[in-house]
Every structure is written in structure tokens, then in C-alpha cells.
Amino acid sequence: MKASMLFAISLTVFSTAFYGVRQTPQQSVNYQKLGDSLSLKAQQTLISNLMGAIEKGGAAYAVDFCNENAMPLTHSISTKRSVDIQRISVKNRNPDNAASLFDKKILDLFESNSLKDTLVRVSKGYVYYKPIKIGMPTCLQCHGKPKQDIEAATLKTIQRKYRFDKATGYAMGDLRGAWKLAFPDK
């Protein structure tokens, strides 16, 4: 990526960060608002399914459940609109959720201040990001400290399904990653 392009992108990020939604004349849809509501819906869907799975078969069973359903559930929210919904992280569990170089800049921004969310103009559309935090003790059953928070059977299942798992060692309130919603220009 050229330096000038990076500069333009960071400028957009920072202007979005400090001045809220960057409404350009072409932007007929409020993507920040739409991103907020779609990511909230996706989050609620994932959490209610996760809680149901833990209740049904415990945390180790729920790992299998997430392994099979997290992606399809996330994608199901995007079927009605032309939007690509993802969860990204620097310390990802699923290799498909690895943060890109640009994602990492946004995550750094979320790490260093309490920004609620941000909208970025990219060459092909808009990208909305919202932080995902370790917001409840349940998260620690699979993302906390091995042995201390994560039971042996759960850890075993995680390691069996995700050979390169990086998503442990978190504590309450930590930034776990972000929702990333890409809205392509029509």
C-alpha cells in the first residue's frame, strides 16, 4: 500500500473517530447506524445460541457447537443485505478471523481509547467496526486462562478443533476483537 493511500485512510479513520459519522454526499444510507444494529443483532444471535449450547451440554460441547455454527449464524444476518459480516481478532481462534494489517490499526485505536465504533471509507465502499469485549464471565470458560478459567475437557476440545488457537489468556473487560461489516458500493 502506498504511503499516500495509508495517510488518506488514517485521515478518514481519525476524522470518523473524532467527528462521528462522515456523511459524504453519495452516502444515502447511514452505514454507521446500520452497522451498529446489524452487529448487535449478530451478537445477540451468537450469544443466545452459545448460552443454549452451554446449558445443553456444557462448555466443551459448546466449543463443537461454535465450531460448526458461529460462521453460518454470523452469515445468516447478512443474507438480506449486501453486507459481509465478520468477527476479527489479533489473537484469533478460527484462522478465517485473523485481523488484516488495516484491521490491526483499528483494533489499536479501540485498545487505546473508548471509541464506541467507527466507519471507514475504503475504495470499494464502507467498512464498519465495533469493538468486542470480554463482557461476561461466560466468555472466560473458553477465552480465559487455561486451567484457571478453562476446564481441561474444554481446552482439549479447543485444541483438537483449532490447532493454532491464540484466543486464550483474556480477562474481564479485555478487548477480544471487533465486528467488521463491509458495505460495498452499489
Contact positions vs ligand HEC (CB under 6 A): 47, 50, 54, 59, 62-63, 66-67, 70-71, 87, 89, 92-94, 97, 132, 134-136, 138-139, 141-143, 167, 176-177
Q: Residue 68: how many CB atoms within 10 A of its CB?
A: 11
Q: At its nearest, how many Å lie between ligand HEC and the CB of residue 97?
A: 3
Q: At its nearest, how many Å lie between ligand HEC and the CB of residue 167?
A: 4
Q: At its nearest, how many Å lie between ligand HEC and the CB of residue 31?
A: 21
Q: At its nearest, how many Å lie between ligand HEC and the CB of residue 176?
A: 5
Q: How far apart are CA 99 and CA 89, in angstroms?
A: 5
End-to-end CA distance of the chain: 24
Q: At its nearest, how many Å lie between ligand HEC and the CB of residue 122?
A: 21
21 or 46: CB nearest ligand HEC? 46
Q: At its nearest, how many Å lie between ligand HEC and the CB of residue 15?
A: 27
37 or 44: CB nearest ligand HEC? 44
30 or 100: CB nearest ligand HEC? 100
CA 29 to each of CA 16, 18, 24: distance values in angstroms, whole numbers, following the listed order: 16, 20, 10
Given a contact cutoff of 8 angstroms between Cβ atoms, the answer to whether 39 and 181 are in contact is yes
CA 133 to each of CA 4, 85, 139, 177, 184: distance values in angstroms, whole numbers, following the listed order: 32, 17, 9, 7, 26
**Dihedrals φ, ψ of 54, to 5°?**
-65, -45
62 or 77: CB nearest ligand HEC? 62
Question: Which region, left, alpha or beta, applies to residue 113 given φ > 0 means left and ψ of -120 to 50 means alpha?
Answer: beta
Residue of 80, 103, 76 whose CA lies nearest to 92? 103
16 or 97: CB nearest ligand HEC? 97
12 or 69: CB nearest ligand HEC? 69
